[in-house]
């Protein structure tokens, strides 16, 4: 993993950085309410935080950043809020293309495409295609994502191969399941960050975060900044990751 750029950032170790950071971006609405603003203003400010944190992760040499943008449960929210979130997503895909290319980012979507409006998917696909030949950090956007749904889809895909492609069910192992998840080509997260102080994983990457280090802050997502990210990374580098074994 590249670390030359990390040396330019004070107080962040140059070794032992997480290869993959996943973030549950929580608290947009609560932040807005505290500011006596409409909830949608929290989402608007949250997009600014996305830009800052994405650029900082790229600068630090992080290989993969996965952002929980829209869960499969979020469709239960008021239709006006969902419509605004779709508008923000479409706007982000258009307006951030310059930043994406400048930072050499590669964009991918993780989640079910169904239910996402076609005009939003169109702009998302354009950005994904435009960034395809970049060589920098992977920006994975979890949109209409739910980990249980992901596992169900994986089981169905494996079942189809058992039934029609000659896969022996005795040969199904953890690697088989991992290859059929939305994140098939992505290494498991090393560090999971959650904002707004909630102590739950909210159906996010349930399979993939089995051994991720978890870091929670009381800051709402619009308040989360580069120094907060660096604090999380510094703490990550001090943890003793044993993966069920012993470091003797």
Query: pLDDT (tens digit, 0 to 9) for every residue of the chain, 248 residues total?
Result: 444 444 444 578 878 999 999 999 999 999 999 999 999 999 999 999 999 999 999 999 999 999 999 999 999 999 999 999 999 999 999 999 999 999 999 999 999 999 999 999 999 999 999 999 999 999 999 999 999 999 999 999 999 999 998 899 999 999 999 999 999 999 999 999 999 999 999 999 999 999 999 999 999 999 999 999 999 999 999 998 877 765 65
Report the C-alpha gap between 106 and 58 in whole angstroms.
11
Burial status of residue 172 (CB atoms within 10 A of its CB: 0-12, 13-18, 19 or more): middle
Instruction: Name which of 211, 218, 227 is nearest 194 in CA terms.
Output: 218
For residue 49, give both structure tokens.
């935080």
Instruction: Give the SS3 label for residue 22.
Output: strand
All structural domains of the chain, each given as residue ranges with its CATH number in brackets, are 6-146+188-238 (3.40.1180.10)
The answer to whether the pTM exceeds 0.75 is yes
What residues are labeled active site? 26, 74
Contact 69, 143 (CB under 8 A): yes
Given strand 64-71, what is the order of strands in its sheet? Answer: 106-110, 138-145, 64-71, 20-24, 191-194, 213-216
Report the C-alpha gap between 32 and 23 in whole angstroms.
20
């Amino acid at each position: 993993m590249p670390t030359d750029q990390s040396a330019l950032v004070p107080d962040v170790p140059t070794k032992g950085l997480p290869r993959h950071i996943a973030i549950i971006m929580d608290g947009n609405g609560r932040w807005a309410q505290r500011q006596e603003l409409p909830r949608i203003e929290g989402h608007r400010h949250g997009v600014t935080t996305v830009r800052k944190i994405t650029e900082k992760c790229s600068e630090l040499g992080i290989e993969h950043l996965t952002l929980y943008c829209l869960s499969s449960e979020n469709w239960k929210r008021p239709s006006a809020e969902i419509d605004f979130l779709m508008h923000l997503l479409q706007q982000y895909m258009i307006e951030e293309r310059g930043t994406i290319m400048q930072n050499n980012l590669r964009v991918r979507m993780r989640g079910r495409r169904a239910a996402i409006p076609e005009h939003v998917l169109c702009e998302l696909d354009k950005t994904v295609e435009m960034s395809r030949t970049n060589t920098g950090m992977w920006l994975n956007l979890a949109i209409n994502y739910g980990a249980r749904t992901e596992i169900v889809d994986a089981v169905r895909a494996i079942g189809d191969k058992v039934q029609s492609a000659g896969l022996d069910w005795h040969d199904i192992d953890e690697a088989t399941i991992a290859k059929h998840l939305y994140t098939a080509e992505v290494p498991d997260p090393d560090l999971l960050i959650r904002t707004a102080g909630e102590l739950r994983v909210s159906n996010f990457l349930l399979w993939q975060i089995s051994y991720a280090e978890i870091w929670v802050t009381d800051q709402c997502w619009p308040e989360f900044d580069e120094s907060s990210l660096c604090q999380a990374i510094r703490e990550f580098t001090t943890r003793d990751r044993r993966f069920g074994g012993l470091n003797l």
